[in-house]
Chains A and B, each alone.
Chain A
Amino acid sequence: MNNTVLIMNNICKSFGSTSVLRNVSFKVNRGDVLAILGRSGAGKTTLLRTINYLIEPNSGEIYFNGTKVINRRQTIRSVRSKIGFVFQNFNLIRHLNAIDNVALPLVKVKNMNWRQARKQAEKALIDVDLADKTSNYPSQLSGGQQQRVGIARALVMEPDLLLFDEPTSALDPSLVGEVMNVMRKLSLLGKTMIVVTHEMRFAENTANRIIFMENGEIIEDTDPISFFNSDSVEIKGFLNSVSEAV
C-alpha cells in the first residue's frame, strides 16, 4: 500500500476579500502524528476543514489515498467516510445516546443494521474507556467524556486519517488529560493524525511532526525537537506568547 495518505497541493482559500489560506502544500504519511500550531486566525482550522471538504478550497489539489478529491457527492462521501473528524465542541447528536451517536455513521454510511452497528459502537466506546456510559445522553456526560464519544465516533469507521480540531480547547483544564491520554494511545497504535492544538506538551511529546502557520501560510514544517529549538523569530515569538499565557 502507498505510504502517503494525504497530499495537499497549493491550497488557497479566501472568505470575501480575506485570504485565509495561501498556497498551502504538505504531505502526510501513514502513521504520522502531525500537530498544526499557530496563533488564532492563522488558518489552522480552515486548513483542517478543507481536507474533508467541510470547506471547499478556491484552488489547489487534494489527494487522499492516491485519489484526487473533487466536488462530487459520491467522492466526498467516500473520502469523509475514511477521515474521522473530532470537533472542538464535540458536536454529538443530542437526541441520541452515546452508543447510537457512535453507531450512526455505521448505519447511515456503511449501511449496517442498528444491532450490528451498536455492537461495534460498544467496542469503540470501550476503547475510549466509556464502557459504563454507553446509554448516557450527551447532556449526561462531562466534556471530557463527550469528547471521547466524539473520538469513538470517528474511530468506529476505521478511518485512514483522523483530524482533530482543537479537541481540548472547550474543556475544563482538569478534563484535558483524559482526552490527551486517548489521543496518545491512538498515536501509539500507529493511527495517522492531524491535530490542530494549543497543547504544547502534546506537540512536543506525541507528535512526530509540527507545522507552524501564520497568516494562512506554512512557515515551518519540521520535527518537534527542531521546532522547539528553532531560531526563527516568528516561532520564538509564538512560543514565548504561549508560555506567557500558561
Chain B
Amino acid sequence: MKKLVSRSLIIIILSGFIAIVYFSMSRVYPFNWDVAVKYYRLFLMGLEMTGKLTAVSLGFALLTGVVIALLRTSKIQVFQDLGTIYVWFFRNMPLLVIILLIYYGLGSVFSIDRFWAGVFSLAFFEGAYIGEIFRAGIEAVPKGEIEAGEAMGLYSYQVTLSIVFPQAFRISIPPLIGQMVSLIKDSSLVSVIALGDLTMRARQVGTQTLASLEAYLILAGIYLAMTSILSYVGRKLERRLAIP
C-alpha cells in the first residue's frame, strides 16, 4: 500500500514537472509531432535493425561469455591467462574504438559487412563483461556441493553440467539482465558506421525535418520502453527460477 501511494505521488509530481517544462518550452519552440506519424516507417526500420543487431550480438556475446568464464575458472594456467588478457583488453577499450577498429580498421584489410562488424564489436565487448558475470556465478557455487558430486562418483563434466552451471546461471540472471540492457543501449553506437539502427534513423528524421528535438525525444522514449520491458521480464524470470 505504502509502495502504491509513494509511486503514484512520484508519477503525479513528475508528470506535472514535465508538463510545466513542455508548455514553457512550447511558447518559444513550436513542437511538430507530425514527424512521428509521417516518418514512423523509418523508426520501425531502425527498431527492426536494433532488435536484430541486439539479438544476434547477444547470442554471440553469451557464447563468448561462457568460453571466457570457462577459461578464467580453468585449472590450466595458460587458459586462465588467455581469459584474463581478453577481459583486460575489451574492458579497457571504448566500444566506439572497437567498432571503428573492426569496421574501418579491419575493413580496410578484409571486406567486412556493416552488420557483422556491428555484431562482432558488440559481442566481443559485451562478452568480456558477461564472461566476468558467469565467472562470479561459477565461483559462487559452494565448494561442498562440487565435492559432494565428486564423492557420488560423477565425472567432472557431470559436476559442471548438473551442479555448477544450473546454479551459476541462476546467480547470474540479475547482472546478466543489466548487461543485456547495456547491450541495447550500446547498440546505438553502431550508428557511426551507418548501420541503419534506431539512433541513425532518428538522426535521419531529425535532419530531414529539422524537428530534431521531437525525433530524439521519440528515440529516447523507445529506448526507455525497450530497456524497461527487458528489466521487467528479467525480474519475472529471476523470481521464477529462484532457488527456494
Contacts and interface: CB of A to CB of B under 8 A. Distances in A.
Interface of A: 52, 54, 73, 76-81, 83, 85, 87, 89, 91-95, 104-105, 108-109, 137, 139-140, 153, 157
A81 B142 contact: no
Interface of B: 142, 144-145, 147-155, 158, 162-163, 166-167, 170, 243-244
Nearest to A89: B144
Contacts of B167: 94-95
Contacts, number: 65
B152 A104 contact: yes
Contacts of B149: 93
A174 B206 CA distance: 73
Contacts of B152: 80-81, 85, 104-105, 108-109, 153, 157
A85 B154 contact: no
Given A93-B145, A140-B244, A85 B151 contact: yes
Contacts of A78: 153
Contacts of A93: 145, 148-149, 163
A91 B155 contact: no
A86 B113 CA distance: 58
Given A91-B147, A93-B145, 13 more contacts: A78-B153, A83-B151, A85-B151, A92-B145, A92-B148, A94-B145, A94-B167, A94-B243, A95-B166, A105-B154, A108-B153, A137-B243, A153-B152
A77 B244 contact: no
A93 B163 CA distance: 7
A80 B155 contact: no
Nearest to A165: B151
B170 A95 contact: yes
B244 A139 contact: yes
A108 B170 CA distance: 22
Contacts of B151: 52, 54, 80, 83, 85, 87
B176 to A, nearest CB: 17
Given A91-B148, A93-B145, A105 B243 contact: no
A77 B153 contact: yes
Nearest to A101: B148
B99 to A, nearest CB: 39
B142 A91 contact: yes
9 contacts: A73-B155, A81-B153, A85-B152, A89-B144, A91-B147, A93-B149, A95-B167, A105-B154, A157-B153
